[in-house]
Amino acid sequence: MSKEDFYEKLKNSPRPVVVDFWAPWCGPCRAIGPVIEKLGHDYTGRVDVWKIHADSEPDIMRAFRIFGIPTVIAFRDGQEVMRHTGSAPAQVLQPLFEAALSGNKPARSQLTAVQRLLRLGAGLALIIVALIAGLHGFTWLIAGLGAIVMFTAVYDRCPVYRPVSMRIMEYFQKKPAAILEKDRQEID
């Protein structure tokens, strides 16, 4: 199937779609297969489940920027709503089906105060280790890692992070459609 055909089929689907990108040689793909099958059965008539063989459809993989399998993507009205890469249990994958039904991504769980403090402490410890060792060569990486760990404790409260991350997400969500439209124009 060409990527144009896939995109048209996706846009014209009467129900939301969850697409499982997999390959038979992929162990995690085989592990996630029964989970997707059971969830597909649970959502019969409400959400369609498609399986795309990654090795047979490289154009589709590139169009949707899939760099690892298994990748499961939820679509509603032809637009990507949510994705998950890697093997996971049903409770992690079920939100994909719910997102396909509602068209909304589930809210991310907030960090507790203890989790925030642990991340801040771990990051600070890495920075202190780098400072004690002297900031040269490899220790700059340790200090940078410490800063990243500290940022993960407060990123959701950062006033700049949210608008920047939303713009980046919008760009990448619209990108597959833009790539396909460009390819359609080149074909015509």
Query: Which of 129, 106, 126, 120 is closest to 155 using CA atoms?
Result: 120
Query: Which of 61, 64, 63, 43 is closest to 52 using CA atoms?
Result: 61
| Spatial separation of the C-alpha atoms in residues 58 and 54, rounded to whole Å | 6
Q: Tokens 């124009």 identify what position?
A: 185
Residue tagged active-site, from 10, 17, 18, 26? 26
- How is residue 20 annotated by DSSP? E
Give catalytic status of residue 158 as yes or no.
no
Q: For residue 23, how many other CB atoms are within 10 A of its CB?
A: 14
Q: For residue 46, how many other CB atoms are within 10 A of its CB?
A: 11
Residue 144 carries which side chain, given as an amino acid letter? G
| Spatial separation of the C-alpha atoms in residues 64 and 3, rounded to whole Å | 10
| Spatial separation of the C-alpha atoms in residues 17 and 98, rounded to whole Å | 11
The first and second tokens of residue 65, run together, are 């920027």
Residue tagged active-site, from 19, 29, 36, 47? 29
* Residue numbers annotated as active site: 26, 29
